[in-house]
Structure 1
Amino acid sequence: MKFILFFLVSSAYSLKTSKDVLRIMGGRNATENEFPYVVKLVLQKLGSVQANIFVCTSIVLTTTWTLTAGHCIASVDQLTDSTSMIQTKLMLEYQSTPKSESAYSEILSTALHPGKGKLANDIGLLHTQPVIFATYGKISSLDYTTLNGQQVFLVGYGMINENQEEASPSLPLFPQVLELIVKDCPYMTLYPEVCFAPPCFLDKHKSKALCPGDSGGPSIHPSGVVAINTITDARDCGMYKVKKLRRDRYDAGYNIGTATPLSPFIDWISSVIQSEAV
């Protein structure tokens, strides 16, 4: 029997040491202003900006509302409990201008989908102090069941690894991008869910994988954001270490990761944002 080990891809679960901070593997650096609305969700230790705890990637939808994976919000409660003796604030971290120092916006409140379960309806919203961007994330109106075979870009604030041997010990200034194809999920893990495979023109000498560390990041289609990153098959990440993928398993049909589609939640997202209160 094939044993598949899955992990929620939240960085909050991988911060025991700097070596445990994981990344999108085999992707590329985003260019300046390519995805300005993709930001970091961090726990900021008061009085020490250098001691931020990276939690997840998030997507700014409006000046005061940001989207992320539901389990990212739940993981913050666990982290807050583990650091109860230290005062912390939940913040968005982003670049206010190219090459600038990080700017921060405080999280005022959070909202989990009312049907949120361990592996169901994994979506949440963050109500924040104003974040001013030229461009905000746009949710696609396409039904996720119509996306099979179409190209998307998965974006997240992990560490990129281009040679499959070493990775930077610090988080990048700009997010990382991985080009994938939407495919049928081989087995049900989430509800609802979409899955991803490498493009058919994959270079067999370069590994690509969505690894633990990029939950809440968007899956971006030409029509807009269609899903948020949620789960990966962690064997391809070398169990939290950078290793080459097994070439006999890695082909155009192989499932790289699983995400929560957004089309079933458009009404809920709209109603929370329009309420301006959580």
Structure 2
Amino acid sequence: MNLKLLFLCLFLAVLIIPADVRIQTFYVVFQVLDGLTDDDDDDDDEPNTDWIFEIQEPDGRCNPNPCLNNGVCEEKGKKNFKCDCPKPFKGRKCEKGPKACRRGRCGRGECVLTSTPPFYECKCKEPFQPPRCRTVALCEPNPCKNGGRCVRDDMDFDCECTPGYSGRFCHVGPDDCYEDNGESYRGNVSETDDGKECLYWNSHFILEKGVNPFSSFEDEDGLGPHNFCRNPDGDMMPWCFFRRGRKLLWDYCDVTECPEPTDVAPTEEVSAGPQPTAPKPTESETHTAAATKQPPTKPPTPEKPSEAPSTSAKPTAAQPTSNATAALEQFSTCGKPQPKKPITRIYGGLKAIPGAQPWQVSLQVRPKGSNQLYRHICGGVLIKSCWVLTAGHCVEPSSNILVLGGLTLNSEEPTEQTLQVEEAIKHEDYRETPSAVYNDIALLRLKGSNGVCAHETQFVKTACLPDAPLNDGTECTISGWGATENSSYGSNHLLDAKVMLISQEKCSEAKIYGSVLDDTMFCAGYLQGGVDSCQGDSGGPLTCDQNSTHVIYGLVSWGDQCGRKNKPGVYTRVTHFLDWIKSKTETAAA
């Protein structure tokens, strides 16, 4: 009886106490689930995801295809579908496969997926021993490679490496370095530049979301059942995924750039005979622990300019001539990215591929009259050579600059272009209330000459404006860094993720956002809460595929906290402002 009374009191309290609704910008955080620490082992069973299509009520049944893992969708009635699942997958949307990597299966190790029974393998972290990574053996057998000596240190150990070798297990050879951007790198470094241990490329923690674990993991980009650093997507240098508790992150690796060869002819003494070199470990020698090598000889990370940059900074394409013809040639098409590598299963929802989001802008500010370094506050999207679209709440009376074509905030990249803002135009009816932000849109006019500001390259392109509404349930892409004026957290690397457009009727229900929504905004994400609903960056783009062209359909605007159930992200509806955008950009051009 007392228990029933307690439940009744709790129920009444929920009805009486108002929810703490506060408006805040979104931060890019790739968080798979909460509740585990770095010391936790493997994942629980994946949750049932049928709610995605049941709650969001997408228009149509098989478009977009709700079936995962190459399932074939068949329409059933007016609002239903059935998935024909390939073996061994099952479930309403073919989302269920054999649970190879259950929590605790690999003790103090990493569970990786394999293509043959039992479809998993435990990769133990020294000094824990196979097969289940539960027993400890210090220096027996010797984990140190290439003649390294194992020295016990209480309940741990250190490897004393022979000259020329480095890494925790002496597995990084003297010739282990990368050339150019490292796409051809096949060395043994397995640690980020911050000392984080790399995950195996076939780790279930990377591949568990919508991936067929029975396909081959090895491919032409050097990925496979190992945790060595690689550059499979054409980034600036080798990188890898790493794990922080239940968060999946990535970073560049602690790998040395090869010295550039000189044109100096060898001396007679050098050419007298071949010089001895130590043998290089083969790629088949996989190790699970991180390599602790000497700091790489990478170029120093440049700081952001303390003075206002010029409009000619770092365009990678040839500078066009300053005339009207050249202006017309720039950005003659929109919405057609040219990513350096196709976006494959392993990067979806986490790491933006170079050139995949070429319209993404970093809006950076500093106080007027100040010599402080610029700081990133918002995202934006390039729609013309001299025009950027962003959220109204991102515009503030500071000296603005824009950085285009880059992926990282804490280092300067050769693909970047840095431009000043000539004029910021916030919508005349912009307003904030305690529960919502209305008409949250602004235009930024860039400084340039003869109608040319940003220069079109593979990494800097414009997104198209939409010409018609899209169906609810359409899958779109958001991208951003997540480091804003309200947060010291976020990612220094550009991230992207998929979200689904949610019907206005559903999002206007009392349990979601109620009557605060109007036709200038819409919802996207996942009503169940979680990773996708809190990825993005204020003012940044939500782009959708419309007739094989990427259109800027929304701008990250506001939301009720981050990742809460029934509280998806709210975006500025760009289609509502097409006339306003046209009037401002054409008036200025005239």
Decide: shared fold, TM above 0.5: yes
Q: Aligned pair 1:121/2:443, yes or no?
A: no
Deviation at 1:5, TM superposition (A): 2.0
Q: How does 1:55-204 map to 2 (within 5 A)?
A: 55-73=377-395, 76-77=396-397, 80=398, 89-95=399-405, 99-100=413-414, 102-118=416-432, 119-129=437-447, 130-134=453-457, 135-143=461-469, 146-158=470-482, 171-174=491-494, 176-183=495-502, 184=504, 185-186=507-508, 187-191=514-518, 192-198=520-526
For the aligned residue pairs, the C-alpha RMSD in angstroms reads 3.2
Kept in 1: contact 2:354–2:407 (CA 8 A): no
Distance 1:207-1:267 versus aligned 2 partners, 3 A rule: closer
Deviation at 1:277, TM superposition (A): 6.1
Match of 2:431, SS state, is coil
Q: Which structure carries more relative contact order (alpha carbon 8 Å, separation 6+)?
A: 1
Deviation at 1:207, TM superposition (A): 3.6
Distance 1:198-1:272 versus aligned 2 partners, 3 A rule: same
Mapped partners of 2:515, 2:471: distance in 1:
17
Larger strand proportion of the pair: 1
Kept in 2: contact 1:227–1:262 (CA 8 A): yes
Mapped partners of 1:31, 1:188: distance in 2:
38
1:17 equivalent in structure 2: none
User: Which residue of 9, 19, 30 corresponds with 2:352?
Assistant: 30
Q: In structure 2, give the amino acid aligned to 1:56.
A: C
Distance 1:170-1:122 versus aligned 2 partners, 3 A rule: closer
Match of 2:23, SS state, is strand
Larger helix proportion of the pair: 1
Match of 2:577, SS state, is helix
Q: Aligned pair 1:257/2:569, yes or no?
A: yes
Mapped partners of 1:180, 1:228: distance in 2:
13
Match of 2:354, SS state, is coil
User: Which residue of 225, 231, 241 corresponds with 2:558?
Assistant: 231
**Which of 216-225 and 180-189 deviates more?**
180-189
Cα deviations by residue, 1:11-35 (Å, 9 ceiling, x for unpaired): xxxxxxxxxxx42434412100001
Aligned residues: 224
Match of 1:71, SS state, is helix
Deviation at 1:103, TM superposition (A): 3.3
Distance 1:230-1:188 versus aligned 2 partners, 3 A rule: farther
Kept in 2: contact 1:152–1:219 (CA 8 A): yes
Mapped partners of 1:177, 1:100: distance in 2:
21
Q: Aligned pair 1:9/2:25, yes or no?
A: yes
Distance 1:97-1:43 versus aligned 2 partners, 3 A rule: closer
1:270 equivalent in structure 2: 582
Match of 1:266, SS state, is helix
Mapped partners of 1:101, 1:269: distance in 2:
28
Kept in 2: contact 1:179–1:198 (CA 8 A): no
Kept in 1: contact 2:351–2:496 (CA 8 A): yes
Match of 2:440, SS state, is coil
Kept in 1: contact 2:359–2:383 (CA 8 A): yes
1:86 equivalent in structure 2: none
Unaligned regions of 5+ residues in structure 2, if any? 1-14, 32-348, 448-452, 509-513
Q: Aligned pair 1:39/2:353, yes or no?
A: no
Match of 1:272, SS state, is helix
Q: In structure 2, give the amino acid aligned to 1:123.
A: I
Deviation at 1:195, TM superposition (A): 0.6
Deviation at 1:209, TM superposition (A): 3.1
Normalising to structure 2: TM-score of the pair? 0.35
Distance 1:138-1:274 versus aligned 2 partners, 3 A rule: same
Unaligned regions of 5+ residues in structure 1, if any? 11-21, 81-88, 160-167, 237-244
Mapped partners of 1:259, 1:8: distance in 2:
13
Mapped partners of 2:515, 2:29: distance in 1:
23
Distance 1:44-1:263 versus aligned 2 partners, 3 A rule: same
Mapped partners of 2:468, 2:30: distance in 1:
28
Kept in 2: contact 1:44–1:52 (CA 8 A): yes
Mapped partners of 1:257, 1:40: distance in 2:
20
